[in-house]
Amino acid sequence: MAKIDMDIPVVEMDGDEMTRVLWALIKEHLICPYVNLKSEYYDLGLKNRDYTDDNVTWEAARAAKRYKVAVKCATITPNAQRVKEYNLKNMWKSPNGTIRAVLDGTVFRSPIIVKGIQPYVRTWKKPISIARHAYGDIYKNVELYTQKGAKAELVVSYEDGRQERSLIHEFDCPGIVQGIHNIDSSIESFARSCMNYALDKGENLWFSTKDTISKQYDHHFKDIFQKIYDEEYSIKFQEKNIEYFYTLIDDAAARVIKSDGGFIWALKNYDGDVMSDLISSAFGSLAMMSSVLVSPEGVYEYEAAHGTIQKHYYRYLNGESTSSNSVATIFAWSGALKKRAELDGISELLEFSKKLEKSVLLTIESGMMTGDLAGIFTGDIKKILNSEEFITAIRHNLENIL
């Protein structure tokens, strides 16, 4: 079979530790033998972020804006221990945070469903996708320790000298105070991308916040969603026979557990952060979750939802065999290639990407899988494979399908 040509590059953001090892194997075995891969490469590995004073992350995010499609490997977000381990100049910010700040938008996460891996919640029959707002709230907070006797106020000043003030608290013992914000334009684009995604998937959209307690902040999110739904989407939703549904976050959490799945749950930034890990673990494994950031300008950045699988990497460095699951990283690649194919009208690339995903599912369903899945797989396990064997088993199935 002749290799498939691409017109426009995908932005390739390499990363750290075990996922960096998997990244190279995926390209070597599952992409490059079949596609004349056009990618604009940015090394977001921690060493290079440090070497470039993190400029590489900003450049990669700007390239994503230009080319519209990016694929990102998991990266280390440094903490004090990593600063020591890598002898860093600075405790650089989370690359995902930087990319989200540049692109804005919404992160959609959906479980990758395989026959033989049952969700822990027995009523769930269909996937539940989480739509996480990727701007603001505590991710752009300012916070202070306060001392006894402190009076904390919220002050908003305007150019014309007007001020609005509100008392937060008068402290009679030491404490803490935090300021957060969000902006209408970002909430509006969050609402639109969730509604577009729901129409795309033909699934109901749920949205939940804590508006009974946060009567202005959270309520504002609710109002914006409702206005955009009423003015721009209600007819399209009716035509597709799907619903938009708002409820309080605690009510939503209870309903999610009793549901049979098959919907999109939109959540504010922090709620989405927590709930996407909870939902992915309950569906079986963090390594079986696809993740894409969709910006209001139509930029798509695909990644795995998990981290760099640090413990496996230390074993790998010791020359030991690891059984790291590459499914989510493969789906990041197939997602990016599928989107590139759609945007550029390359049907062979679209077909190839779908077949790549199919061969991953076939491999697991035939009983060949990595160690993390073996514990939760209910079918017959033929063999537990190491990281490289798993990728070559997928390649074998891919060759058969192609």
Q: Judged by CB under 6 A, which of 311, 317, 347, 399 binds ligand NAD?
A: 311
We find the least distance from the C-beta atom of residue 268 to ligand NAD, in angstroms, to be 19
Region from 75-83, 170-178, 194-202, 389-397 binding ligand NAD, contact rule CB under 6 A: 75-83
Q: Min. distance of Cβ 327 from ligand NAD in angstroms?
A: 7
Q: Does 276 bind ligand NAD (CB under 6 A)?
A: no
CB-side exposure of 333: number of CA atoms within 13 Å? 28
5 is in an annotated binding site: no
Binding residue (CB under 6 A) for ligand NAD from 74, 99, 228, 289: 74
Q: Is 47 in the site for ligand NAD (CB under 6 A)?
A: no
Work out the burial of residue 129: count CB atoms within 10 Å of its CB; fewer than 13 is exposed, 13-18 middle, 19 or more buried. buried
Closest Cα partner for 255 from 288, 208, 194, 193?
208
Is 97 a known ligand-binding residue?
A: yes
Sorted by sequence, the CB contacts under 8 Å of residue 160 that are 6+ apart come out as none
Quick one: how far is CA 349 from the chain centroid?
Answer: 23
Q: Is 77 marked as binding a ligand?
A: yes
Please say which residue, 109 or 339, places its beta carbon nearer to ligand NAD: 109
Instruction: Out of 325, 353, 359, 363, name the contact with ligand NAD by CB under 6 A.
Output: 325
Least Å from the CB of residue 169 to ligand NAD: 33
First-to-last alpha carbon distance for the chain, in angstroms, is: 8
Do 187 and 220 contact (CB within 8 A), yes or no? yes
CB-CB contact of 18 with 383 (8 Å): no
Q: Judged by CB under 6 A, which of 286, 332, 341, 349 binds ligand NAD?
A: 286
Q: Closest residue (Cβ) to ligand NAD?
A: 307
- Contact between 280 and 261 under an 8 Å Cβ cutoff? The reply is no
Q: Is 100 a known ligand-binding residue?
A: yes
For residue 296, what are the contacts with CB-CB under 8 A and spacing of at least 6?
104, 105, 189, 192, 193
Q: Is 61 in the site for ligand NAD (CB under 6 A)?
A: no
226 binds ligand NAD (CB under 6 A): no
Site string for ligand NAD, 93-132 (x = CB under 6 A): ---x------------------------------------
Compute the distance between CA of residue 16 and CA of residue 316 in angstroms, rounded to an integer.
13
Task: Report whether 95 belongs to an annotated binding site.
Answer: yes
- 398 vs 101, 238, 360, CA distance in Å? 37, 39, 8
Q: Residue 280's closest CA among 106, 119, 76?
A: 119
Rounded to whole angstroms, how far apart are CA atoms 399 and 402?
5
Q: Which of 77, 234, 281, 366 binds ligand NAD (CB under 6 A)?
A: 77
Q: Is 96 annotated as a binding residue?
A: yes
Closer to ligand NAD by Cβ: residue 279 or 349? 279
Closest CA to 8 of 341, 294, 334, 300: 341
306 binds ligand NAD (CB under 6 A): yes
Q: Which residues are annotated as a binding site for Mn(2+)?
A: 250, 273
Q: Which residues are annotated as a binding site for D-threo-isocitrate?
A: 77, 94-100, 109, 132
Q: Which residues of the shown chain bind ligand NAD in the complex (CB under 6 A)?
A: 74-77, 96, 286-287, 303, 306-312, 324-325, 372
